[in-house]
Amino acid sequence: MVSLVDFRKIENKDQLLKWTEVVRNYAGGSTAQWTDLQDVYGRSSYQLIEDIAIELKGSERSYVFFAIWKCSGEWAFSTVVDAWIKYRMKRAEGDYFQKEIQPLLDNIEERENALEESKKKIYRKIGDLRTENVRLQSRVDYLTEELRDATRRSVDRRAQLVKLRNVAEAIKTIQEFAGNGSSEF
């Protein structure tokens, strides 16, 4: 029996493309040759084939998909196509993330930074106002004490004034009695 490929399993891109070409162009040889092509695929790493197929572009990828379907059936074909679809979806999600989500996250981050800066300014202003409040409260306490002292002095002066008025009235009364010549004392 003459094998249509010179390798027992697919181990790289070139071998996968050669195997694909042989399968696509297989026009009906012996059953042993066809079985040999199936065995080459069967001995190969499905993960490696999926990885290679994912990276292929355009017609090369289509030919590989067709060859897998033709030689190994729907299950093998759907496995490789599913892997390719998942890859494309992840890539599309990545693109969507980069184009749509990342700018939003960047905008949120910028706003958070601006908010933090604003908070710092507000906290500084609150600190300054607290310091000013303490200074003003100290001034209020001082002025309150001064007012109390002034009030005490004023009350003392009023009391002295009242005493002086009482003394003046007493002197006046004495003078009136003394001026009348009365001796009522």
Per the prediction, the chain carries an average pLDDT of 85
Give the whole-angstrom CA distance, residue 127 versus residue 121. 10
Give the whole-angstrom CA distance, residue 41 versus residue 44. 5
Question: Model pTM?
Answer: 0.49
Query: What mean pLDDT comes out for the span 18-24?
Result: 88
Helix ranges (DSSP H) in 30-101 = 31-43, 46-55, 58-72, 74-96
Which has the higher per-residue pLDDT, 13 or 37?
13
Give the whole-angstrom CA distance, residue 18 versus residue 23. 9
**Per-residue pLDDT, 25:** 82
- Please name which of 110, 53, 128 lies closest in space to residue 85, comparing C-alpha atoms: 53
Asked whether residue 182 carries a pLDDT value surpassing 60, the answer given is no
Q: What is the pLDDT of residues 143-154, one digit of tens each?
A: 999 888 888 888
Q: What is the pLDDT of residues 79-134, one digit of tens each?
A: 889 988 888 888 888 787 788 778 888 888 899 999 999 999 999 999 999 999 99
- Helix axis angle, 58-72 to 74-96, nearest 10°: 150
Asked whether residue 178 carries a pLDDT value surpassing 80, the answer given is no
Give the whole-angstrom CA distance, residue 165 versus residue 28. 144
Structure token digits, residue 53: 């197929």
- Which are the contacts of 4, defined by CB distance < 8 A and separation ≥ 6? 22, 26, 29, 33, 36, 37
- At residue 86, what is the residue type? K
C-alpha triplet 100, 102, 106: angle, nearest 5°: 125
- At residue 113, what is the residue type? N
Q: What percent of the chain has pLDDT over 70?
A: 95
- CA trace torsion 136, 142, 145, 149 (10° rounding): -130
Q: Is 181 helix (H, G, I), strand (E, B) or coil?
A: coil
CB 38 within 8 A of CB 7: no
Give the whole-angstrom CA distance, residue 106 versus residue 80. 37
Q: What is the pLDDT of residues 23-69, one digit of tens each?
A: 888 777 778 888 888 888 888 888 998 899 888 888 899 999 998 88
